[in-house]
Amino acid sequence: MSGFFGVISKTDCVSPVFYGTDYHSHLGTKRAGLAFFNQKQGFQRAIHSLEDGYFRTKFEDDLVNFNGNSGIGVISDNEAQPLVTNSHLGKFAISTVSKIVNADELEEAFLQRHRTFSETSQGNVNPTELTAMLIADGDDFVSGIEKVFDKVKGSCSMLIMTENMLIAARDNLGRTPVIIGKNGDGFAVGSETSAFPNLNYEIEKFLGPGEIVRITAEGYEQIRKPNSKMQICAFLWVYYGYPPSYYEGINVDEVRYRCGAALARRDPVDADFVAGIPDSGLGHAIGYANQRKIPYMRPYAKYTPTWPRSFMPQNQLTRELVAKMKLIPNPAIIKGKRGIFLDDSIVRGTQLKDNTRDLHNEGIKEVHMRIACPPLTYPCEFLNFSRSRKPMELATRKAISQLEGKGEVDMKKYSDPEMDEYKAMVERIRKNLGLTTLQFQTLSDLVDAIGLPKEKLCTHCWDGSSYYKNSK
């Protein structure tokens, strides 16, 4: 995924934009950027790679060169952004949280019209530049953003900075959140409300799906009403979201406590302790332990001072090394004990298999794995939440292939916990990963834990139910 943060204020906003963007570092993996505007210097911008360092250390030296009452920042999955562009709408800077599945098709359409792309992302068209070009095809910002909604397959939320305002637009189906914060000096816009409290912003408004808002230091104005249909990514609460954040007014960690409790209510297994796989598994584990009154312990300690995130390095072997080195086992808790472990999900299962082997090497007696969401049976087509791009990279599909071999498979049977096929798949995953027992969350319990109607949630990665649908 990615995350953006912007401020428009009556006073200089460089510091809040810098720290507010930094509070989105858990969302992006490769690039980051800041852009500011003031009347004397115009648009100012800096972009750095995060593959060999952290946001704050990369941008601290740039701050002395920036000033302005409006600014935007972004932590990005792949592409360099924010971009500053000029068009018949005027100059503007833009950041996006997007996954444009049909980028090649849209790029070709522009090339056929003799349009030129100046930015590339991993050798491909930069999705943020593509978004800017679609916007510039409109008569104004609203009609341009609606072109993005109409033409993009996938998802795209946008934050735009002009010379006198910010424009925030949430994805057409609301798959990613956009929230406005307010303080005495002006307004902020972010992907995560966890960026607000320490910068003295209070939550002012959750944008609806397809809603567009114009923001100045004096106030904000809705310039496009939200659509009636929404499919916000349910995985935000399970994994991506930072614990203090809210989406649709619902707190991330409270959902994780409820997820863990739901798993506990369906689980009769005895154990000596409950543990969470750091970091996102911790909230789920606390909810589980509180429900079953089993001691919560830390068989692993996460060493954070020098080891970066495990999925940042591009080389798979390096990622696996980082994942291993940052988790230090504690034999005093592990040896001879029965442990229940909570994690957010199983994607490939590679890291979990390694963790399980390490636990056995430290003398653990039993490893009972509890997963806070249902089995991932479909790759995400709407957000960049995993490096898995093909179905066969998923632990579920590998297990199904082992059970059935090649050929067409009725995936609905493998998404229904009541079906024998589902149970056989889970058992095969358990064996593949070397676990004592394995249990996944049911989709109905996850939906209940979040607290929104299922039709307002995107659950495609679990049941294949969501597609490229435009909604008014």
DSSP states along 304-373 = -SS---TTSSSSHHHHHHHHHHTEEE-HHHHTT-EEEEEES--SS-HHHHHHHHHHHHTT-SEEEEEESS
Mean pLDDT of all residues in 59-75? 96
Which single residue is written with the structure tokens 């004592």? Answer: 436
Residue pair 175/210 in contact (Cβ under 8 Å)? The answer is: no
Residue 196 has pLDDT above 80, yes or no: yes
Non-local (6+) Cβ contacts of 189 within 8 A are 4, 5, 6, 7, 159, 166, 168, 178, 179, 180, 181, 215
Question: What confidence score (pLDDT) does residue 459 get?
Answer: 96
The pLDDT of residue 59 is 96
Stretch (H or E) spanning 375: none
* Average pLDDT for the chain: 92
> For residue 391, what pLDDT band results from cuts at 50, 70 and 90?
confident
Which class does domain 3-230 fall in? alpha beta
Nearest C-alpha neighbor of 284 from the set 310, 304, 254, 309: 254
Q: Which token pair is 435? A: 């676990």
Check if the beta carbon of residue 385 is closer than 8 Å to that of residue 347: no
- In CATH, the number for domain 250-460 is 3.40.50.2020
Task: List the structure tokens of 143.
Answer: 């009609």
For residue 119, count other CB atoms closer than 10 A to its CB: 16
Please calculate the CA angle 354-357-361 and round it to the nearest 5 degrees: 135
CA distances from 148 to 169, 172, 396 (A): 10, 9, 34
Phi and psi (nearest 5°) for 196? Answer: -85, -50
Residue type at position 121: S
Q: What is the pLDDT of residue 381?
A: 85
Percent of the chain beyond pLDDT 70?
Answer: 92
Do 3-230 and 250-460 come out as alike in CATH topology?
A: no
Highest mean pLDDT among 68-77, 392-401, 458-467: 68-77
User: Taking the CA atoms of the chain, what radius of gyration do you get in angstroms?
Assistant: 23
pLDDT band at residue 408 using 50, 70 and 90 as cut-offs: confident
Q: What is the pLDDT of residues 87-146, one digit of tens each?
A: 999 999 999 999 999 999 999 999 999 998 987 766 789 999 999 999 999 999 999 999
Scanning the structure block, which residue is given the tokens 């994994």? Answer: 239
Binned at pLDDT 50, 70 and 90, residue 310 comes out as very low
Packing angle, helices 127-136 and 103-112, rounded to 10: 50
Is 129 strand, coil or helix?
helix
The domain locations on the chain are 3-230, 250-460
Tell me the C-alpha to C-alpha distance, in Å, between residue 308 and each of 86, 157, 302: 37, 27, 11
* pLDDT reading at 311 higher than 50: no
Q: What is the DSSP letter of 377?
A: -
Question: What is the CA angle 252-254-255, rounded to 5?
Answer: 65
Q: What is the mean pLDDT of residues 287-305?
A: 91
What is the per-residue pLDDT for 322?
A: 64
pLDDT per position as a tens digit, 10-31? 999 999 999 999 999 999 878 9
Alpha helices in 214-278 (DSSP H): 235, 252-265
- Which of 297, 285, 275 is closest to 243 using CA atoms? 285
